[in-house]
């Protein structure tokens, strides 16, 4: 294991140019590195669709637990840590700023911190900071245990009986006690105590799930909360009743799991913001070496609906979070254009953007084409589209749906170089 928590990969084929210098030829150097990649047994395949060059290979492992344990936080439509690790390792050096304007659960900033880089992140959803910030400065398990002992668990009051579809009466009272404690001691604004911040992160990720490791009765996976009405139907169908759960014990267990691979690496101070990706005035111009990001894919994932219970627990008004849903490709491309315009400001000359998209609408829409067009005329060299095609999928299937009937089945990354 290296300092990133991922298995060390050998260097690419040695070439004379250096992709970190920002000098002429750096972009070509990275193209050559990707073309020559054969770590998993096969050379890269190259194709061209119109004006867009594609480089296809298995660039990182599909293993579920190849990354540092601190990444194991559930969130809809998030990419694996291996994706940002690939680019961070090859295109940055320790101390460089790494940015994700759609950070979601914070995979890119967390991986950047693990590798000694400066983590910068932004998201329109304030829940994002609550999922990211605590993992950049995690407390010791002993501190968490002492703090949990201070909470008056039996003084919690049930304010929304609808939630009894998920929790027993006792469990919901304990959740309410913890919620009240955190809302009072760790408000959304400002810099909360790191221990309270951590406890909230863990509790958010234990609210619902499909095993006894969660606070709830059996329900959908933890990154997608159903409505209380739907949960009552699940309970009736399965003949189940919400059991009592030991909230403190489950928080300590998840804390130990997240920290099992060791502490967070030393890294420069983070910068996390809440707002649109198209306007990030808090990020200085020319300060970022690498952007690794993945925006919402049209209207495929309903982030607000999926996170309603997490938002309730955190005290977030989910109705006030203006998460964009683009029903047309043109509208989505316009959003990407505005985002890339802002990235052209914050990325330094010689820096890079790795813009990941996916297959949507049964493979009929390949969003990398919209990203490629959106970058036209901006101060970026459009290098290629990387397709990370896992070993269990034939290369031919990267142009359509090959693994499942719906969803994203390959990582498709538009790589841009700031000139």
Report the length, in residues, of the chain.
Answer: 419
Task: Annotate 239-253 with b (16+ C-beta within 10 A) or e (fewer).
Answer: eeebeebebbebbbe
**Arithmetic mean of pLDDT over the chain:** 87
For 329-343, give one letter per residue: b (16+ CB within 10 A) or e: eeebbebbbebbebb
pLDDT tens sequence across 386-419: 999 865 444 444 544 344 444 445 789 999 999 9
Selected residue with higher pLDDT from 142 and 79: 142
Please answer whether residues 79 and 411 qualify as being in contact, where contact means their C-beta atoms are separated by less than 8 angstroms: yes
Q: Are β-strands 365-366 and 271-274 bridged in parallel, bridged antiparallel, or unpaired? A: unpaired
What is this structure's pTM? 0.90
Q: How far is CA 270 from the centre of its chain?
A: 16
How many percent of the chain have pLDDT more than 70? 83
* Res 404: pLDDT: 41
For residue 147, pLDDT over 50 is answered with yes
Residue 200 tokens read as 């909230």
Instruction: Judge whether residue 2 has pLDDT over 80.
Output: no
By percentage, how much of the chain surpasses pLDDT 90?
Answer: 71
3-state secondary structure of 97: strand
Look at residue 5 in the predicted model and tell me its pLDDT: 43
How many Å separate Cα 68 from the centre of its chain?
14
Half-sphere exposure of 415 (CA within 13 A, CB side): 24
pLDDT, position 27: 85
Tell which residue, 41, 12, 42, 46, has the closest CA to residue 29: 12
> For the chain, how long is the longest CA-to-CA vector?
67
Q: Measured between alpha carbons, how far is 5 from 80 in angstroms, rounded to an integer?
A: 13
Between 249 and 14, name the one with better pLDDT: 249
pLDDT band at 21 (very low <50, low <70, confident <90, very high): low
Neighbours of 104 (CB within 10 A): 25
In sequence order, the 6+-apart residues with CB closer than 8 A to the CB of 177 are: 151, 152, 153, 154, 155, 156
> From CA 48, how far away is CA 52, in angstroms rounded?
6
* pLDDT over 90 at 41, yes or no: no
Nearest by Cα to 73 from 49, 103, 99: 103
What's the pLDDT score for residue 16? 41
pLDDT at position 243 is 98
Query: Is the pLDDT confidence value at 337 over 50?
Result: yes
User: Quick one: tokens of 196?
Assistant: 């309270």
pLDDT in tens, 267-313: 999 999 999 999 999 999 999 999 999 998 765 556 667 789 999 99
Please choose, from the candidates 155, 141, 372, 384, the residue with its C-alpha nearest in 3D space to the C-alpha of residue 254. 141
Task: Indicate if the pLDDT at residue 361 is higher than 80.
Answer: no
Q: Which CATH architecture has domain 26-124+266-418?
A: 3-Layer(aba) Sandwich (3.40)
* Structure confidence at residue 274 (pLDDT): 95
Helix (H, G, I), strand (E, B) or coil at 417: strand
Distance CA 335, CA 325 (A): 10
Q: Which residues contact 415 (CB under 8 A, 6 or more apart)?
A: 30, 352, 353, 354, 355, 383, 384, 385, 386
Greater confidence (238 vs 302) lies with 238
Every domain of the chain with CATH number 3.40.50.150 lies at 26-124+266-418
**Tokens coding 259:** 């920290």
Grouping H, G, I as helix, E, B as strand and the rest as coil, residue 197 is: helix
Residue 6 confidence (pLDDT) above 60: no
Number of alpha carbons in the 13 Å side-chain half-sphere of residue 66: 15
Which tokens hold the place of 397? 């299937």
Selection from 383, 333, 313 nearest residue 33 by Cα:
383
Q: Which two tokens stand for residue 113?
A: 């911190």
The pLDDT score that the predictor gives to residue 396 is: 40
pLDDT of 187 reads 84
- Tell me how far apart the alpha carbons of residues 103 and 292 are, in angstroms, rounded to a whole number: 9
pLDDT in tens, 198-217: 999 999 999 999 999 999 99
Nearest in space to 73 (alpha carbons), one of 290, 221, 280: 221
| 198, containing H or E segment | helix 194-204
Sign of CA dihedral 196, 111, 78, 282: positive
Give phi and psi for 162, each to the nearest 5. -60, -30
Contact between residue 71 and residue 264 where contact means Cβ atoms under 8 Å apart: no
Structure tokens at 13: 């084929």
Q: Which of 82, 122, 232, 97 is nearest to 167 (CA)?
A: 232
Distance, in Å, from the CA atom of 30 to the CA atom of 351, rounded to the nearest integer, reads 12
Token pair belonging to 186: 């760790």
Among 94-103, 168-177, 314-323, 329-338, the range scoring the smallest mean pLDDT is 314-323
């Amino acid at each position: 294991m290296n300092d990133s928590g991922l298995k060390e990969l050998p260097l690419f084929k040695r070439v004379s140019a250096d992709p970190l210098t920002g000098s002429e030829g750096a972009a070509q150097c990275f193209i050559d590195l990707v073309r020559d990649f054969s770590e998993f047994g096969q050379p890269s395949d190259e194709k061209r669709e119109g004006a867009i060059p594609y480089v296809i290979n298995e660039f990182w492992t599909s293993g579920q637990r190849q990354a540092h344990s601190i990444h194991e936080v559930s969130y809809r439509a998030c990419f694996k840590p291996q994706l940002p690790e690939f680019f961070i390792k090859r295109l940055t050096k320790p101390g460089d700023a790494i940015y994700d304007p759609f950070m979601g659960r914070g995979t890119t900033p967390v991986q950047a911190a693990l590798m000694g880089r400066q983590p910068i992140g932004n998201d329109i959803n304030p829940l994002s900071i609550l999922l990211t910030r605590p993992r950049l400065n995690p407390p010791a398990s002993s501190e968490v245990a002492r703090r949990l002992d201070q909470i008056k668990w039996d003084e919690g009051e049930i304010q929304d009986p609808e939630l009894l579809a998920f929790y027993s009466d006792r469990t919901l009272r304990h959740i309410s006690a913890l919620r009240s404690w955190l809302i009072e001691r760790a408000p959304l604004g400002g810099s909360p105590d790191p221990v309270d911040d951590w406890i909230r992160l863990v509790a958010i990720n234990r609210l619902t799930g499909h095993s006894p490791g969660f606070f709830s009765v059996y329900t959908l996976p933890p990154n997608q909360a159903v409505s209380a009405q739907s949960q009552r139907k699940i309970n009736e169908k399965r003949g189940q009743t919400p059991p009592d759960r030991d909230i403190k014990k489950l928080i300590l267990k998840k804390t130990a799991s997240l920290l099992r691979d060791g502490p967070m690496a030393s890294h420069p101070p983070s910068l996390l913001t809440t707002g649109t990706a198209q306007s990030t005035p808090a990020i200085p111009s020319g300060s970022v070496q690498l952007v690794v990001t993945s925006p919402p894919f049209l209207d495929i994932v309903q982030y607000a609906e999926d996170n309603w219970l997490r938002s309730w627990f955190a005290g977030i008004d989910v109705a006030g979070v203006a998460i964009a849903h683009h029903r047309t490709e043109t509208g989505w491309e316009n959003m990407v254009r505005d985002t890339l315009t802002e990235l052209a400001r914050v990325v330094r000359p010689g820096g890079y953007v790795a813009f990941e998209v996916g297959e949507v609408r049964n493979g009929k829409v390949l969003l990398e084409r919209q990203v490629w067009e959106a970058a036209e005329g901006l101060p970026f060299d459009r290098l290629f589209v990387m397709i990370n095609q896992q070993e269990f999928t034939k290369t031919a299937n990267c142009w359509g749906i090959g693994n499942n009937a719906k969803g994203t089945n390959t990582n498709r990354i538009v790589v841009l170089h700031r000139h």
